[in-house]
């Protein structure tokens, strides 16, 4: 059977397929993680990270040479401390941002105020907004940033490594016989914990524990009365909680020897940065929590961190 | 010196002060100080596309303009309320404007509306609601008159106290990262201004003019309402007009800048001490002087911290309160 295809169609198809093939390399309109379309430079060389987590991801992609500015508390890796500061992620200093002549700003939806992002855009600086809400989306973010910053291979390797580490933890946790009840304290005086839609919740569940703060409220508040009723078996305290010392934080739990977590010495202070930043370091947090929750499975594999 | 000449002289002098403080404020900021470069950019003798030019035209200029209007309006608002309520402690927020607009603004932030127009409209609506309530309350408790100065004052203070409780309730129910936005707004913050929003400020010009026209009746009101009425003033009408106009313009300002304190208290008192009680001179002086004062306070808010900036309301309070006390002491001796 003979199907007539007009010549123009063939040419059009060829042109289209050519465009599609080169589309990944050319600078052009891209859609960011919150669905905004923007034009990004083909090879951004003056990038400003508007949140510590973004600085961290750029370093782990090996693209720090492109960074010209970062926010306060961009302390990881330590080299990042030398970058020019542009205010904190919530109070960005627009004047300093403009003075650094960036060709691309990377922002995060959960943190950077929208009106400031709008203002940067109105000054002619493209702003790519990321919005990772769980581990899967962090990996998606890394892939996207890898494409933006020409570090596709590093991104693929990083994501593969993250997937592997998650699978390892999952495989081990499967063998566990029990699911301990975990309370993760993110703030002290008053007590706050983390509910659904937080990284902390995801990490506890992945590590084979039950997050007793699970619920619609992302950051529920607790009283000691609630805690005594809930009877956590394991207590994890963020090192940032209340700006208090780890000794003090642990002492405030040791008052309650009616709690099995206290009786069995299962109260730990953990590094806040491993739990509140959407970066590959959340995997360190995952492995740490898994080792605390199921020491019998992890002793051989991961060095247990004591408080 | 005849009054006409004195008005022109002080206005001219304070205009020069305003111009100078604007130029100084535009030449300094977190990215550095460049006075001569700023002058050449402002006079058009420099590359208008340079980074410094962008910073000066797009970032610093809108802020200086906003600061000028906020400072001028608050100082003028303080002057008018002090005259109307015949109370030296009256300030632009006295009738519950701050409380009402804060509730409106916080609600808008909690819903997740953008700063403009969402938060601005909500805070404007909030202040008008409280204002309407307080004025109705004052006029009904006293039966027939808007001049129950103490009932207005007390109604305003109580409404502010009530609103403060509602604000605390809202904050206590709020997720932690939103609290920061709300607190900065409550402290008074000019950082959120965008160029397009400045056009709303032109609504303030007619308010300024009406208040200036009414400055002679305001002088007479200081003598008491009976005397003023005896001199041919329609007291009720004038008071109502001044109340509404002043509250309107203060609400506009609050919706853009949050709560900036002490300007409305300190500036009118300084000028009253220096220039005497004549409102024909005080109205333009407070407007221009308040503008310069807030421009310079905002400059400090931008350049004092090594990283980031302070809300300007903190600076106005830190400078304003001691200044006010010094004025009081010198006045006594």
Kindly tell me if the per-residue pLDDT of A15 is higher than 60: no
What is the per-residue pLDDT for A304? 43
Kindly tell me if the per-residue pLDDT of A166 is higher than 80: yes
Q: What would the 3-class secondary structure string for A75-88 be?
A: CCCHHHHHCCECEC
With contact defined as beta carbons under 8 Å apart, do A95 and B29 qualify? Answer: yes
What is the per-residue pLDDT for B47? 76
Judged by average pLDDT, the poorest of A10-19, A81-90, A117-126, B152-161 is: A10-19
pLDDT band at B307 (very low <50, low <70, confident <90, very high): low
Percent of chain A with pLDDT over 90: 66
A window 184-213, beta carbon within 8 A of B: 187, 192
* pLDDT mean over B5-17: 94
pLDDT band at A18 (very low <50, low <70, confident <90, very high): very low
Optimal mutation site among A73, A89, A99, A118, interface B, most CBs of chain B within 10 A: A99
Domains and CATH numbers, chain A: 29-150 (3.40.50.1980), 174-298 (3.40.50.1980)
What is the per-residue pLDDT for B224? 80
Query: pLDDT tens digits, residue range B245-284?
Result: 888 888 888 888 888 988 999 999 999 988 988 999 999 9
With contact defined as beta carbons under 8 Å apart, do A135 and A42 qualify? Answer: no
Question: How many beta-carbon pairs below 8 A join chains A and B?
Answer: 67
Region of B96 please: left (phi>0), alpha (psi -120 to 50) or beta. left
Percent of chain B with pLDDT over 70: 93
Quote the number of domains for chain B: 1
Kindly tell me if the per-residue pLDDT of A121 is higher than 50: yes
Burial tier of B161 (Cβ tally within 10 Å: 0-12, 13-18, 19+): exposed
Kindly tell me if the per-residue pLDDT of A288 is higher than 80: yes
Task: Output the average pLDDT for chain A.
Answer: 87
Q: What would the 3-class secondary structure string for chain B be?
A: CCHHHHHHHHHHHHHHHHHHHHHHHHHEECCEECHHHHHHHHCCCCCCCCHHHHHHHHHHHHHHHHHHHHHHHHHHHHHHHHHHCCCCCCCCCCCCHHHHHHHHHHHHHHHCCCHHHHHHHHHHHHHHHHHHHHHHHHHHHCCCCCCCHHHHHHHHHHHHHHHHHHHHHHHHCCCHHHHHHHHHHHHCCCCCCCHHHHHHHHHHHHHHHHHHHCHHHHHHHCCCHHHHHHCCCCHHHHHHHHHHHHHHHHHHHHHHHCCCCCHHHHHHHHHHHHHCCCHHHHHHHHHHHHHHHHHHHHHHHHHCCCCCCCCHHHHHHHHHHHHHHHHHHHHHC
**Strands A181-187 and A191-193: what pairing?**
antiparallel
Burial tier of B100 (Cβ tally within 10 Å: 0-12, 13-18, 19+): buried
A window 239-278, beta carbon within 8 A of B: none
What is the per-residue pLDDT for A17? 45
Contact: A72, B307; criterion CB under 8 Å: yes
**Which residues pair with residue B94 across a beta bridge?**
none
Any idea what the CATH number is for the domain that residue B35 is in?
Answer: 1.10.3470.10
What is the per-residue pLDDT for B141? 56
Query: pLDDT tens digits, residue range B64-106?
Result: 999 999 999 999 999 999 988 888 888 888 788 888 988 998 8
Report the alpha-carbon distance of residue B131 to residue B159 in Å, rounded. 9
**Enclosing domain of residue B155:** 3-332
Query: pLDDT tens digits, residue range B241-251?
Result: 898 888 888 88
* pLDDT mean over A138-148: 95
Q: Which residues of B touch A (CB under 8 A)?
A: 29-32, 51-52, 54-55, 58-60, 114-116, 175-177, 180-181, 184, 191-192, 194-195, 302, 307-309
* Residue in A95, A113, A122 closest to B31 by CB: A95
Percent of chain A with pLDDT over 70: 88
DSSP label at A64?
Answer: G
Q: Helix (H, G, I), strand (E, B), or coil: what is residue A269?
A: strand
Contact: A91, B184; criterion CB under 8 Å: yes
Of the candidates B95, B64, B88, B67, the one whose C-alpha atom is nearest the C-alpha of residue B248 is B95
**Which residues pair with residue A180 across a beta bridge?**
none
Q: Bigger pLDDT: A12 or B42?
A: B42
* pLDDT mean over B137-144: 62
Task: Output the average pLDDT for chain B.
Answer: 85
Kindly tell me if the per-residue pLDDT of B296 is higher than 70: yes
**Strands B32-33 and B28-29: what pairing?**
antiparallel
Contacts of B180 in chain A (CB under 8 A): 90
Report the alpha-carbon distance of residue B94 to residue A65 in Å, rounded. 54
Judged by average pLDDT, the poorest of A228-232, B86-90, B289-293, B304-308 is: B304-308
Contact: B59, A95; criterion CB under 8 Å: yes
Q: Does A113 touch chain B (CB under 8 A)?
A: yes
Report the alpha-carbon distance of residue A206 to residue A182 in Å, rounded. 12
* pLDDT mean over B3-13: 92
Q: Does A115 touch chain B (CB under 8 A)?
A: yes
With contact defined as beta carbons under 8 Å apart, do B256 and B63 qualify? Answer: no
């Amino acid at each position: 059977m003979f199907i007539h295809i007009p010549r123009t169609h063939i040419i059009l198809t060829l042109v289209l397929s050519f465009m599609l093939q080169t589309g990944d390399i050319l600078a052009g309109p891209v859609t960011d993680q919150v669905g905004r379309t923007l034009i990004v430079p083909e090879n951004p060389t003056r990038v400003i990270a508007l949140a510590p987590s973004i600085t961290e991801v750029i370093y782990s992609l090996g693209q720090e040479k492109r960074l010209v500015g970062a926010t306060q508390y961009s302390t990881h890796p330590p080299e990042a401390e030398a970058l020019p500061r542009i205010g904190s992620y919530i109070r960005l200093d627009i004047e300093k941002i403009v003075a650094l002549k960036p060709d691309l700003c990377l922002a995060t939806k959960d943190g950077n105020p929208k009106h400031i992002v709008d203002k940067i855009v109105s000054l002619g600086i493209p702003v790519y907004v990321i919005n990772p809400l769980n581990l899967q989306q962090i990996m998606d973010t890394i892939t996207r940033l890898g494409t933006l910053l020409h570090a596709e291979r590093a991104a693929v390797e990083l994501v593969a490594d993250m997937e592997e580490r998650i699978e390892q933890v999952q495989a081990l946790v499967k063998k566990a016989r029990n699911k301990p009840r975990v309370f993760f304290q993110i703030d002290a005086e008053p007590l706050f914990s983390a509910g659904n839609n937080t990284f902390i919740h995801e990490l506890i569940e992945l590590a084979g524990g039950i997050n007793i703060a699970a619920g619609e409220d992302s950051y529920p508040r607790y009283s000691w009365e609630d805690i005594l009723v809930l009877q956590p078996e394991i207590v994890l305290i963020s090192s940032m909680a209340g700006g208090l010392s780890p000794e003090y934080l642990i002492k405030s739990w040791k008052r309650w020897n009616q709690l099995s977590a206290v009786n069995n010495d299962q109260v730990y202070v953990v590094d806040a940065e491993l739990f509140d930043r959407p970066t590959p370091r959340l995997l360190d947090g995952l492995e740490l929590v898994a080792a605390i929750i199921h020491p019998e499975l992890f002793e051989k594999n991961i060095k247990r961190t004591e408080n | 010196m005849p009054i006409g000449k004195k008005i022109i002289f002080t206005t001219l002098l304070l205009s020069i002060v305003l111009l100078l403080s604007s130029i100084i404020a535009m030449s300094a900021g977190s990215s550095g100080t460049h006075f001569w470069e700023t002058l050449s950019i402002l006079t058009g003798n420099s590359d208008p596309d340079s980074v410094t030019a962008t910073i000066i035209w797009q970032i610093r200029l809108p802020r200086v303009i906003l600061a000028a209007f906020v400072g001028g309006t608050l100082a003028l608002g303080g002057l008018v309320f002090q005259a109307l309520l015949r109370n030296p402690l009256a300030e632009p927020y006295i009738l519950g404007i701050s409380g009402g607009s804060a509730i409106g603004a916080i609600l808008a932030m909690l819903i997740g509306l953008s700063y403009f127009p969402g938060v601005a409209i909500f805070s404007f609506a909030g202040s008008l609601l409280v204002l309407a309530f307080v004025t109705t309350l004052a006029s009904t408790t006293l039966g027939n008159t808007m001049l129950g100065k103490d009932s207005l004052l007390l109604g305003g203070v109580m409404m502010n106290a009530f609103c403060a409780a509602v604000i605390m309730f809202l904050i206590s129910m709020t997720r932690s990262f939103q609290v920061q936005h709300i607190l900065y707004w409550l402290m008074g913050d000019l950082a959120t201004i965008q160029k397009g929003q400045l056009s709303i400020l032109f609504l303030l010009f007619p308010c300024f003019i009406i208040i200036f026209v009414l400055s002679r009746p305001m002088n007479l009101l200081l003598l008491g309402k009976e005397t003023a009425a005896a001199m041919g003033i329609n007291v009720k009408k004038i008071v109502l007009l001044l109340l509404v106009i002043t509250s309107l313009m203060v609400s506009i300002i609050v919706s853009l800048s949050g709560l900036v304190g002490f300007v409305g208290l300190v500036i009118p008192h300084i000028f009253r001490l220096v220039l005497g009680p004549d409102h024909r001179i005080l109205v333009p002086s407070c407007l221009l002087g308040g503008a310069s004062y807030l421009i310079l306070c905002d400059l400090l808010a931008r350049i004092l911290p090594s990283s980031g900036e302070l809300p300007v309301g903190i600076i106005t309070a830190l400078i304003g309160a001691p200044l006010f006390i010094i004025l009081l002491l010198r006045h006594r001796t």
